[in-house]
Amino acid sequence: MSRQTEQSLGELPMESWMSHLPCALWDIPLYHLAIPGSHNAITYCLDMNDRSPVDLTQPDMLQKLDKYMKPLIRPFVYKWAITQEYNIKQQLDCGVRYCDLRIAHRPNDSSSDLYFYHGVYTTLTVETVLMEIRQWLDTHPKEVVILSFSHFLGLSQELHMLLLTTIRKVFISKLCPKMESLTLRNLWTSGYQVIVSYEHNIASYHSDLWPQIPYWWANKCKAEALIEEFEHRKKLGRPGGFFVTGINLTEDLKYICTHPTESLKDMVMSTYPTLLSWVTEQTPGSTVGSLNIIAGDFITESRFVPTVVTLNEKLLKLSS
């Protein structure tokens, strides 16, 4: 294979890279392809107006400080809570095809509106964002997105059912039921564009909800430690279906206190060269050590997406 062909997948138009893949990849299961993903995809619209309390998963101490010292604490929370600055349509245009969606009902909210959250809650409702995804899919009929609904906070059984109703109402016939042969060719033939994975036991009772997708999270604040953790996990073998390798770094209190002027974005952007050179060495597929979905933070602001998409070249080599 010539050097030029090797680079070609990364040079595809990223807003429609799936529809431009070589036909040799149309019959490979989606969970054997390399797919770029967005970690905590909807943090670009966190509530900056102090109306939102910090979310209930935050330490008690932070909740108390936020209550009494909001002007001091809030900027600090935002700096470390925002993981994506581009909106959902821009992320999809950049080539993201997996979205990590964390769903919450705000405390003391008498409405049944659901939001996303990370540190604080978003200003946009879940329904609004799903409608934006739907509109984008209408104009990109051969692109497929995997929406992972997880980390549910404050949802009653009724709210889960309401969310499920919203998902079906928004995506209608685009929603892909659980099926054996999940390939691009099969999805295109059936007009399916949305795979919904749902981290809750109700998923097993609904044919259009896929089970929770395992997410490899290293919980490290240094790139080298994260890579070491994933290399160890790879040796143990990959899950059978979809799974995510999250190359998102996690700050701890010690890191935040020793880098008071920094933000999560500073931390992430400084480590991307190291992380992406590791990603370049990975291989998609079904074998031990192969990867599938790779998710990151601030994914529109580096060569992250083309780097992941290019990995599918290795499947072409295997099949030729």
Q: Is 39 a catalytic residue?
A: yes
* Predicted pLDDT of residue 50: 67
**Active-site pick, 32, 105, 118, 200:** 118
Distance between CA atoms of 238 and 259, rounded to whole angstroms?
35
Distance between CA atoms of 117 and 204, rounded to whole angstroms?
25
Distance between CA atoms of 217 and 47, rounded to whole angstroms?
26
CB 81 within 8 A of CB 119: yes
Q: Can you tell me whether residue 183 is helix, strand or coil?
A: strand
* Predicted pLDDT of residue 320: 59
Q: Which residues of the chain have pLDDT under 50?
A: 1-7
Q: Can you tell me whether residue 146 is helix, strand or coil?
A: strand
If residue 196 lies in a helix (H) or strand (E), which one and from where to where? strand 194-198
- Burial of 180 from C-beta contacts in 10 A (0-12 / 13-18 / 19+): exposed
The candidate with the shortest Cα–Cα distance to 180, out of 141, 201, 210, is 210
DSSP structural state of residue 173? G
**Active-site pick, 39, 105, 160, 200:** 39
For the beta carbon of residue 241, count every other beta carbon within 10 angstroms.
16
CA distances to 82, 106, 167 from 70, rounded to whole Å, are 17, 18, 35
Which residue type, as a one-letter code, is found at position 187? L
If residue 12 lies in a helix (H) or strand (E), which one and from where to where? none
Beta bridge pairs of residue 148: 100, 197
CB 126 within 8 A of CB 103: yes
Distance between CA atoms of 116 and 126, rounded to whole angstroms?
7
Distance between CA atoms of 247 and 83, rounded to whole angstroms?
12
For 64-129, the three-class secondary structure string (H helix, E strand, C coil) is: HHHHHCHHHHHHHHHHHHCCCCCCHHHHHHCCCCEEEEEEECCCCCCCCCCEEEECEEEEEEHHHH
Cα angle 291, 308, 273 (rounded to 5 degrees) comes to 105
Question: What is the model's pTM?
Answer: 0.95
Distance between CA atoms of 213 and 233, rounded to whole angstroms?
16
Q: What is the DSSP string of 25-69?
A: GTTSBGGGS-EEEETTTT-TTB--SS-SPBPTTS-HHHHHHHHH-
* Predicted pLDDT of residue 116: 98
* Predicted pLDDT of residue 199: 96
Give me the CATH topology for the region 9-319: TIM Barrel (3.20.20)
